[in-house]
């Protein structure tokens, strides 16, 4: 069974930084592209970043480009999201999700809440 468990969320001040982690198990992590998607309180889903299986290729939404960095450690079966220069608009639940074989976002974690407030 696929397990994705996010951690690292919390309260951070505007302008601050935070690093989210996503621990993967139950599948061959190195075979799958991975994404981060977020959901602001009471709002819809917003895809924010994507990384290839090797980690060589990364993609970002315009809303986070230049501030967020996606990475992965395949030896640790882990996905990361480094978030810098945070603003109140980044307050959201952040989900990691896995791409399937030839399709997208087939499995999601439970999410990690990030609150940006002074």
3-state secondary structure the chain: CCEEEEECCEEECCCCCEEEEEEEECCCHHHCCEEEEEECCCCCEEEEEEECCCCCCEEECCCCCCCEEEEEECCCCEEEEEECCCCHHHCEEEEEEECCCCCCCCEECCCEEEEECC
Q: Which is nearer to other proteins, 74 or 105 (CB)?
A: 105
106 binding other proteins? (CB under 8 A): yes
Q: Pick from 20, 29, 32, 50: which binds other proteins (CB under 8 A)?
A: 50
Name the segment binding other proteins (CB under 8 A); options: 13-21, 37-45, 69-77, 84-92: 37-45
Residues in the site for other proteins, rule: CB under 8 A? 35, 37, 44-47, 50, 59-62, 95, 100, 103-111
């Amino acid at each position: 069974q696929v397990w994705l468990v996010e951690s690292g969320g919390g309260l951070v001040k505007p302008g601050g930084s935070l690093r989210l982690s996503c621990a993967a198990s139950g599948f061959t992590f190195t075979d799958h592209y991975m994404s981060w998607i977020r959901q602001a309180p009471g709002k819809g889903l917003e895809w924010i970043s994507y990384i290839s299986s090797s980690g060589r290729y990364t993609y970002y939404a315009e809303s986070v480009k230049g501030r967020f960095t996606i990475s992965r450690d395949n030896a640790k079966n882990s996905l990361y999201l480094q978030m810098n220069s945070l603003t109140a608009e980044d307050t959201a639940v952040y989900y990691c999700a896995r791409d399937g074989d030839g399709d997208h976002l087939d499995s999601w974690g439970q999410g990690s809440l990030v609150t940006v407030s002074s």
